Structure 1
Amino acid sequence: MTQHADFLRNASDGTRVVIRHLLHNEEKSATDVLGYLSGSNETQVVVATAKGLVTVELADVIAAKEIPPPPAPRPR
C-alpha cells in the first residue's frame, strides 16, 4: 500500500479529505472525490460526498490528503 492509502486507513471518520483515484475504464483515467470519511476497512474507504456515499478501493488511490472545512457562507 502507498502512504496515501495508509493515511486514509488511519484517518478518523469525519475527516474531510480529497482523494484522487483510478477509474477502471478504457482510458485508464482518474477522478477526485471530496467529502468526509465515513468508514474504512483494509481494502476500501467510504466518503460521504455532496451527492452521496462513494466507495474507493485503496489499491486505486493515487493521492489523498486532509483538507480544511469549507468556508462559511458569505452574507448577502
Structure 2
Amino acid sequence: MRVVVRYRIEGGLTDALGHLVACDGDVCTIRTRKADVVIQLSEVVAAKEVPPAPERRRPAQ
C-alpha cells in the first residue's frame, strides 16, 4: 500500500511518501525512493493511503 505519513522531527514536521512495508505496535517502515524510513508511531501526526505514482514520461525525441 502506498502511503504518506506526516510525523514530528526536531524542529517541526516532515513527510514520508512511499510503500508501507511493515507496521507493529511501536514503529512503521515506509520504503521511499531513497531509503527505508522507520517512524515511531508516537511521532505520527497524520497518515493516509495515496494512489500509485504516475508513470514516468519518456524524454521527447
Same fold by TM-score, threshold 0.5 exceeded? yes
Unpaired segments of 5 or more residues in structure 2? Answer: none
TM-score of the pair, normalised by structure 2: 0.88
Q: Which residue of 2 aligns with 1:68?
A: 51
Kindly indicate whether residue 22 of structure 2 is the aligned counterpart of residue 32 of structure 1.
Answer: no
Two-structure CA RMSD over aligned residues (Å)? 1.0
* Larger helix proportion of the pair: 1
Normalising by structure 1, what TM-score?
0.72
Equivalent pairs counted in the alignment come to: 59
Consecutive unaligned residues of structure 1, counting only runs of 5 or more, are 1-14
Runs of 4 or more consecutive aligned structure 1 residues displaced over 3 Å after TM superposition: none
